[in-house]
Amino acid sequence: MSSDIIKRIKHFRVKGLPVSFREEIKNARMKRGWGQRELGAQTGLPQPHISAIESGGIVPRFDTLLEIVRMLELDLMIVPRSLVPAVQSLIRVQQEPDAVEKPLYATGDEELAPGNRDHDEF
């Protein structure tokens, strides 16, 4: 890299994971019925470390963060900013089965259920 580019790069140090991200981790942990100690045991981290991540006291290394979200059956994804509202809408519909919005595509047995057909059968 040229020295001009290096001079223009600003060092960005995150002070903590975003609140919404930390809440997702905590909610996923609780949904599995795990305390911080159980999540720590699954990831090889001590309970105080899990607590500090969830409270925003520390920012985990990227590989640690990946391990935590994967243990919670979540994943990280890079999404173009212009598509974030669409992705959030899909997630919201998935989490709220009684929501007014319905997904564009049926999944699994939903497609075959008699009450879910929008066409007449002949």
Per-residue pLDDT tens digits for 4-58: 666 666 666 667 889 989 999 999 999 999 999 999 999 999 999 999 999 999 9
Report pLDDT for 64.
95
In the chain, where the domains are located? 19-71, 81-112
pTM: predicted TM-score of the whole model, two decimal places: 0.64
114 by DSSP, 3-state: which?
helix
Note the CATH number of domain 19-71.
1.10.260.40
- Residue among 75, 93, 73 nearest 85 (CA): 93
Report pLDDT for 83.
94
Packed helices 19-31 and 62-71: angle between N→C axes, nearest 10 degrees: 40
- Sign of dihedral through CA atoms 98, 30, 85, 111? negative
Report pLDDT for 57.
93
pLDDT digits (tens, 9 = 90+) for 67-121: 999 999 999 989 999 999 999 888 888 877 665 555 555 555 554 555 554 544 4
* Residues counted in the chain: 122
Q: How many CA atoms lie within 13 A of 41 on its CB side?
A: 5
